[in-house]
Amino acid sequence: MDLLSIQVACLSGAEVTKMTVNWKSYLWNKTVTASDEAIKNIEAKFNIKFPKDYLEIVKENQGKVPKPNIIKIGNITTGVNELFHFEKNESYEGSAVLFNIEILTGFAPDKIIPIMGTGGGNSFGFDFRKEPKNPSVVYIVSDLEGEEAIKPVADNFTNFLSLLKSEN
């Protein structure tokens, strides 16, 4: 089992919350590094630029699951599953960033880019519409359309990770 720990510090007011997020192998039994070329291809195709905090994590952890991996969004509690990957791998196509962008086409607003699954058909993504250089993280509900499908979660990726809790 490949496991990588990442320290997350979240500034909330004058208080800094520190926690550790561990990344556990899920799709592959080894680390499959996301190439700069694959990431840049997605960025160019959709005219976006992924934030640095996300890139630092996804490059070494694509296809992995965070621990802790539970999040509360309003009155919804859901699991946070794999970081979507940038590989051209038909075996794991359902967990690819590009595949999930294509799934959203037509029911979610433009500039919503899915980055993580929930294990239940919904996903988490970046909302590049208001802050293209530092997109917020949103919850994407697969059985709703338009703005109704998008629920705000965190101001940025680091803050999103700081919201993750254990099942206890």
pLDDT in tens, 55-111: 999 999 999 999 999 999 999 999 999 999 998 877 788 889 999 999 998 889 999
Checking if the pLDDT of 11 tops 70, the result is no
- Give the total number of structural domains in the chain: 1
Q: Is the pLDDT of residue 7 over 70?
A: no
Per-residue pLDDT, 2 = 45
Q: At 104, which amino acid appears?
A: L
Higher-scoring residue by pLDDT: 107, 136: 136
Residue 82 lies in a domain: yes
Considering the domain boundaries, does residue 39 fall inside one? yes
Q: What is the mean pLDDT of the chain?
A: 88
Q: Judge whether 73 lies within some domain.
A: yes
**Phi, psi of 65, deg, nearest 5:** -110, 135
- Residue range(s) defining the domain that contains residue 59: 3-162
**In terms of pTM, does the model score above 0.75?**
yes
Residue 167 lies in a domain: no
Q: What proportion of the chain, given as a percentage, has pLDDT over 90?
A: 70
For helices 36-46 and 52-61, the axis angle rounded to 10 degrees is 130
Q: Considering the domain boundaries, does residue 168 fall inside one?
A: no
Flag whether 36 is in a domain: yes
CATH number of the domain enclosing 88: 3.40.1580.10
* pLDDT for the residue numbered 107: 87
Predicted confidence at residue 93, as pLDDT, reads 84
